[in-house]
Amino acid sequence: MSARTSYRVSLIAGLLVIALTVYSAMQPPVPVCGDLAKNYTPIIAFELVRSTADLHAIFGNAPGACRTAIAARMDFINTVDSIAFIPIYGAFLFFFFLAMRDSGLARLAAALTIIACAADYVENYALFHLSATPDEPGQWLTLLNWATETKWVGLGIVSALGGLLLFNARSPLSYIALLLCLIGTVASLVSVVHAAVVGPYLSNAIALGWLVFLIVAARESVRPIRAAA
């Protein structure tokens, strides 16, 4: 597969990521049952829970109609995530770096993308169990923590590697691209020790790097091929 074709596949997948994000934003608000911060997206808060108290902030501290409703919504979101979002964002990142496969950094980023996607599936597996037993999370909480940190830190490193690859051009825009990519990297690393602090902003921070990649993929998809000298 040529570099241009890889960029085009990445571009298509990136546009589908945007479409799924818009679809998600248009859905009714998730009915939180506890005292979750208003600026904290419930599904991200669910991914980043670290204790039973964190689970109760989302699901409430007792069974009831509200808990049943939010558990159903969380399971639906994670089902869509598993079937559509993970493979699509995985393709977006993988083919973006496949286009630059002559670089060792690009090959590393592609490999880390696969690992992050695999961790995302493990994360969802744990979330399906936790939504059913928020009062007794047991080993599922431990599994979730490992999977979530692997996914987010992996995506943060991928963002940094992408920024470094683009920075090699040393143009004024490459400095901006690197900065945007590193915001996601820093946020993902901070989430390991301060999940509740950075959690409300984590997905948006990672999205900044993805936006850079999408713009580059679009540019490279239509850039004229240089004739051989």
For the chain, 229 residues long, give each residue's pLDDT as a single digit of tens.
888 899 999 999 999 999 999 998 888 888 889 888 888 999 999 999 999 999 999 999 888 999 999 999 999 999 999 999 999 999 999 999 999 988 899 999 999 999 999 999 999 999 999 999 999 999 999 999 999 999 999 999 999 999 999 887 666 678 889 999 999 999 999 999 998 899 999 999 999 999 999 999 999 888 776 544 3
DSSP one-letter code for 29: P
The CA-atom distances, in angstroms, between 138 and each of 48, 68, 106, 204 are 16, 20, 38, 30
The answer to whether residues 102 and 3 touch, using CB atoms and an 8 Å cutoff, is: no
Question: Where do the structural domains in the chain lie, given as residue ranges?
Answer: 3-222
